[in-house]
Amino acid sequence: MEIKVQKNIMNRNNEIAAENRQRFIDDGIFTVNVLASPGAGKTSVLLKIIETIDGKIDMAILEGDIASQIDTDKIRKRGIPVMQINTGGGCHLDANMIRVSLSELKPAKNAIFLIENVGNLVCPSSHDLGENMKLLIASVPEGHDKPYKYTSMFAAADAIILNKTDLLPYIDFDKEVFYKGVHALKPDVPVFEMSCKTGDGVADFVNWLKDKRKLWQTQHTK
Ligand SMILES: Nc1nc2c(ncn2[C@@H]2O[C@H](COP(=O)(O)OP(=O)(O)O)[C@@H](O)[C@H]2O)c(=O)[nH]1
Ligand SMILES: [Mg+2]
């Protein structure tokens, strides 16, 4: 019985995700679902993207957290439309939360819409939001073994950022082991090494993101 209820919930989530996806196509909104464990650097990466885009493309941000407005306050200071969803204990965002946020945020046509999901490497990977891509942020202090332990999350990622590379000299992080684990799950996934502290790797990633958006717009929008 419980399994049936769960199946119905997932079916409904997927229906709403499909509606969100259509809305994104209709309005040319390129949507990125940002996934990571707590503290990996999701908000820091969003701030770097905002800084690099520098107002040249409209943006909107949705912040998902169990509690608090902390991340929303950081984004709001940059003058970008932002909304906070507190799940009150829920470990992931769902498609309906995105639908509700769209009517409040009203992202501009052709905007980049970044969704910071709740920090964990388990549940968010299995909930389609209607996004164009899942961006996974791993970070050096978490260790090189994470692709071996959180396989569904790494397998679901369309792109991976390895953040906090400024800490590589201080932490036993074996990049070769990390990349081997990543590529065993997804041989072609792009991986961007980045430090939000020094800014290394930010421009390369944002250029790639802009190219992805352009390609998607030519393929999917009128
Ligand atoms: N050394 C270092 N610290 C970072 C980097 N990126 C983020 N941080 C720090 O890591 C902590 C968590 O970052 P935050 O962006 O809030 O992570 P989130 O919980 O995934 O949104 C903060 O103290 C950041 O300043 C980085 O590239 N290098
Ligand atoms: Mg955050």
Per domain, the residue ranges of the chain are 2-220
pLDDT digits (tens, 9 = 90+) for 134-176: 999 999 999 999 999 999 999 999 999 999 999 999 999 999 9
Whether 64 is in the pocket of ligand 1, judged by its Cβ within 6 Å, is: no
Cα separations in angstroms, 66 against 18, 70, 73, 118, 217: 25, 11, 15, 7, 33
166 CB near ligand 1 (under 6 Å): yes
pLDDT, tens digit, 9 for 90 and up, residues 108-126: 999 999 999 999 999 999 9
Planar angle of CA 26, 208, 158, nearest 5 degrees: 70
Residue with tokens 């792109």: 159
Residues in the chain: 222
Q: What is the number of alpha carbons within 13 Å of residue 69 lying toward its C-beta? A: 5
Read off the pLDDT band of 2 (50, 70, 90): low
Ligand 1 lined by 81 (C-beta under 6 Å): no
How many CB atoms sit inside 10 A of residue 196's CB? Answer: 22
Indicate which residue's Cα is closest to atom 7 of ligand 1. Answer: 41
Q: Match domain 2-220 to its CATH number in 3.40.50.300, 3.40.50.80, 3.20.20.70, 3.30.565.10.
A: 3.40.50.300
Q: What's the CA angle centered on 5, arms 3 and 7, to 5 degrees?
A: 70
Is the pLDDT at 38 greater than 90? The verdict is yes
